[in-house]
Amino acid sequence: MRLPRSLRARLTALFLIISGATILSTALLMNRVVAQVVWAPLDAELVEEAETLCTLVRSGHLEGLQTTVVGIATEKQHGPGKFVRVIGGDGKVIAEAGPVPHELRNAAVPRIKQATNLRAHDMPMRVLNYPLHDDCAGVVGVDVRRQLMTLAKARIAIAISALMLLLALGGLAWLVTSRATAEMDRLAAEIATIEAGSLGRRLVPRRTLEVDRLASVLNRVLARLESAVTHLQRFTADAAHELRTPVAALRARLEVAIGGPPDVGAYRDGLVDSLEQTERLGRLAEDLLTLSSVEAGGTMPRDEEVRLDLIVREVVDALEPIAQEQGRALECDAPAPVSVRGAPQLLKRVVLNLVDNAFRHTPAGVLVRVAVARRDGVAVVVVEDHGPGMSPEDQDNAFRRFARGRGTTGGGSGLGLALCREIVAAHGGRIHLASELGRGTRVEVELP
Ligand SMILES: Nc1ncnc2c1ncn2[C@@H]1O[C@H](COP(=O)(O)OP(=O)(O)OP(=O)(O)O)[C@@H](O)[C@H]1O
Ligand SMILES: [Mg+2]
């Protein structure tokens, strides 16, 4: 059997099953109690009569016995159908009166006290066996049409009340679950009206605690969604803006070259300039891609062992020719092996970006130092220079995307440090920048 999918129907059905079982068992119990109330006094009365008769038999007063038996049998309190029979120890009937049912004519002497209902002469009867004791036993029966009628009425009353109770409870359950689910329906309807453009809207508080909790959880999800979408929109706008500048520069340079007099030297200059712009464009596109993939958690395998000291040396070796060209000393301090787990390409990118900054944002001839060491179980990479430093304002913004310091002429896109921060964070580390105007800049990367 398939359960209904509606929560309301399920809850109501469950409630009905449980309350139905309870009501049914209560009704059965009540039925037994009512039968007890009807039969117990009657049985006691019949026992008493049989006992009176047997007392007469035992005391030897047999002459008055038949009169008493007839007197008891003709007593009309229980209708016309009453019979009495007194039996001796030898099984012989000592006295008898009233319409003894046919099937009891040759019955054995009763041995146990027992009351049974049977039909005789087309009449419902209650027959009591009074067991043999001191040479006397008895059987007394009465017409019980009235009692059966009372019992039937009581049973009908019990059945009707049970049914009505069940119906009332079912209706109540349906009402309660309807009210509870209606609130959820309203919540769903309200959520359905929220579009991408209206993510700033929030759901109103609800009456019931559970639905209210659901609404506040959804509100938190909406807030996160809103901030993610806003962030994405801003990022896309910034990226488009940043791409426009090198494209415009490239176009302008090409136009100048084509529009001028045909001169090989001018063409060459134009092409060199254009190449520079395309390099810048390529770098920008690559940075944007890396940034978004690191942010989305789509980093390269992170469980590789990475030798930071080797990476630092590699970067220093690669940049040494540029350092010489710029007449600056490039110091490398990587005395011992330092390993971390992570993505080697990304970590190399961090070191490269930091050294690139030191080269690009300090005048030629300024010393740059790169060091790597282990400190309290944490790998630390330091890149420092004795350049002009950064203003406190520039320091605050340094890690924001597309944030370039004021007066920066390096031609960068302002993504370098933002990318460094994302990569370091993805490795569970921290990056810290300290700079002082006129004294230099020091960037420290900690990796677990
Ligand atoms: N060593 C440094 N000395 C002085 N200023 C620095 C130094 N490093 C970074 N900055 C400042 O911080 C800003 C942000 O640096 P970031 O690396 O994010 O961008 P960028 O170098 O301008 O561009 P990109 O790295 O994307 O080519 C720089 O524009 C520069 O003003
Ligand atoms: Mg940079």
Which tens digits make up the pLDDT trace of 155-180? 999 999 999 999 999 999 999 999 88
For residue 412, the model assigns a pLDDT of: 79
Ligand 2: centre distance to CA 406 (Å):
14
Q: Is 258 helix (H, G, I), strand (E, B) or coil?
A: helix
Ligand 2: centre distance to CA 410 (Å):
8
Helices H / strands E in the chain, number of each: 9, 12
Q: Report which of 366, 348, 349 is spatially closest to residue 358, judged by C-alpha positions.
A: 366
- In ligand 1, the atom with minimum distance to the C-alpha of 440 is 3
Tell me how far apart the alpha carbons of residues 348 and 334 are, in angstroms, rounded to a whole number: 15
Q: How confident is the model at residue 410 (pLDDT cuts 50, 70, 90)?
A: low
Q: Is 197 exposed, middle or buried (0-12, 13-18, 19+ CB in 10 A)?
A: exposed
Residue 299 has pLDDT above 70, yes or no: no
Alpha carbon separation from 160 to 16, 31, 150, 154 (Å, rounded): 17, 13, 15, 10
**Ion ligand 2: residues, CB < 5 A:** 357, 412, 416
Tell me how far apart the alpha carbons of residues 30 and 25 are, in angstroms, rounded to a whole number: 9
Which tens digits make up the pLDDT trace of 89-144? 888 999 999 988 888 887 788 889 999 999 888 889 999 999 988 889 999 999 99
Q: In what helix (H) or strand (E) does residue 230 lie, and over which residues does it extend?
A: helix 209-259
Of 319, 384, 385, 404, which is best to mutate to test ligand 1, by the most ligand atoms within 8 angstroms of its C-beta?
404
Rounded to 5 degrees, what are φ and ψ at 307? -90, 100
Q: Report which of 145, 104, 103 is spatially closest to residue 124, judged by C-alpha positions.
A: 145
Tell me how far apart the alpha carbons of residues 230 and 227 are, in angstroms, rounded to a whole number: 5
Residue 344 neighbours by CB under 8 Å, 6+ apart: 304, 306, 311
CB 351 within 8 A of CB 372: no
The reply to whether the predicted model has a pTM over 0.75 is no
Q: Is 75 exposed, middle or buried (0-12, 13-18, 19+ CB in 10 A)?
A: middle
Q: Report which of 397, 404, 396, 366 is spatially closest to residue 383, judged by C-alpha positions.
A: 366
Residue 420 in contact with ligand 1 by CB distance below 6 A: no
Rg, the chain, Cα only: 52
Cα 408 to its chain centre, rounded Å, is 52
Tell me how far apart the alpha carbons of residues 334 and 215 are, in angstroms, rounded to a whole number: 55
Which tens digits make up the pLDDT trace of 220-264? 999 999 988 888 888 888 788 888 888 888 898 889 888 888 888
